[in-house]
A and B are shown apart, each in its own frame.
Chain A
Amino acid sequence: MAISSKKMNPYDEMMKGLWRDNPVFVQVLGMCPMLAVTNSAINAIAMGLATFFVLVGSSFLVSSLKRWIPKQVRISVYIVIIATFVTVVDYVLLATVPAIHKELGAFIPLIVANCLILGRQEAFASRYPVKLAVMDAIGMATGFLLAMFALGSVREILGEGKLFGVSLFGDNFEPWVIMILPPGGFITLGLLLLLFNWVGERKQAFIAQVAEAERGKA
């Protein structure tokens, strides 16, 4: 539980969630809400924002309370903290945007079971000071939000020919209904992961090439 002695930069902690340690594409966490509610861009963003609030709130609380949480029951304490924030989000969404709340339905309470959130509490917030924990949570949650938006917009554009409900292609477009149904979610995420892997591999190859050239020069 000791705080690491090496200097940690809050900015770096935030940026790592966006690409290098992206929770969805690299760590493959939080798949259930990821696939279930991304049939349109607006639902994806609503879910992403709800997760953002829960993750940042519980990281803040866990990190500030870490001295008083007994080690043996820490997981249960984290879950109760997370569940409290999720209940708050559930009621806030119900009061402010009932239409979206209805579409997301049972998946808002299921944010509790998102392994991304519990994972960050156990791996990060319980070990580092509040400032770093909050920055880490912001970065991870933004990475999650971006991935949700990527998946949601691809599925909505292909499945309905719309983005945020605005028609993009005119009347001649034949929508791929399958994309907004469950199989489309699996396949789109699979293809996005492939793209991510491919970019990563190209980058590795490029770095290796540069290193090779440097050695040749020396």
Chain B
Amino acid sequence: MDNLIWIFISALLVNNFVLAYFLGLCPFLGVSSKLETSFRLGLATTFVLIITALCSWFLNTYVLTHAPYLRLISFIVVIASTVQFIEMAIKKLSPALFQSLGIFLPLITTNCAILGLAIFATNRGYGLWEGLTFALGAGAGFTLAMVLMAGMREEAEIGSVPALVRGTAFNLIISGILSMAFMGFAGLFSST
């Protein structure tokens, strides 16, 4: 149990997927202009991450022990098609949920955070529960980073930022400062 809590906190704060591993930067820089949208994208990503953890555990345990060189290809194909199926199911079963999450699902599948999670979980030899906790922590960390970033960008819209700096350059510098702040959480681990 203790182990699971540490995996969660590590993925959430210390080794935040966006700010420490640079995974999922495309949505982080591209879609983070509104607080509301960022939060919903974060939730949808968390959902896909959990599905990914299940898929990669299944593949690693039952399929890839026979053919490890197919790992990358099978991860991508299986995850993408599972997400497609789930998207169809959500559309059919709950149009309201589809409205808030569904439009993001196909985009998220090509996000490197998804594949990154599967690869990291495999490299570290996580089991099913560890993998699920890792996915939950990574998803929560991604949502946290997205929401913080969107909040700052909304504020900066009103501020007097020179025209030359506006855009990606500005967002990258903000992310750098945010990432520096998150480095402080590394102290959490040295005490144990």
A31 touches B115 (CB 8 A): no
Cβ of A36 within 8 Å of any chain B Cβ, yes or no, is yes
Out of A106, A118, A182, A187, which one reaches B110, CB within 8 Å?
A: A118
CA distance A90 to B75 in the complex (A): 15
Whole-angstrom CA separation of A120 from B176 in the bound complex: 29
Does chain A have a CB within 8 A of B123? yes
Q: Nearest-CB distance from A84 to chain B (Å)?
A: 7
Q: Which of B24, B80, B164, B176 is in CB contact (< 8 Å) with A186?
A: B176
**Interface-located stretch among A14-22, A62-70, A125-133, A191-199:** A191-199
Q: For window 62-84 of chain A, which residues contact chain B by CB distance below 8 Å?
A: 76, 79-80, 83-84
Instruction: Give the residue among A34, A83, A185 with the most B Cβ atoms within 10 A.
Output: A83
- Who on chain A is nearest to B118 by CB? A109
Q: Closest residue of chain B to A105, judged by CB? A: B123
Is A84 in contact with B119, judged by CB distance below 8 angstroms?
A: no
B21 to A184, Cβ gap below 8 A?
no
Residue of A nearest to B186 (CB): A181
Report chain B residues within 8 Å CB of A114: 112
A66 to chain B, nearest CB (A): 21
Whether the Cβ atoms of B80 and A32 lie closer than 8 Å is no
Looking at B33-41, B58-66, B97-105, B165-173, the stretch in contact with chain A turns out to be B165-173
- Digitize B68-85: 1 where CB-to-A-CB distance is under 8 Å, 0 elsewhere: 010111001100100000
Within 8 A of B (CB), among A170-188: 178, 181-187
- Bound together, the chains give a CA A83 to CA B74 distance in angstroms of 9
Q: How far is the CB of A187 from chain B (nearest CB, A)?
A: 4
Whether B123 contacts A90 by the Cβ 8 Å rule is no
CB-based closest 6 A-B pairs: A190-B172, A186-B176, A113-B112, A187-B176, A190-B173, A193-B169
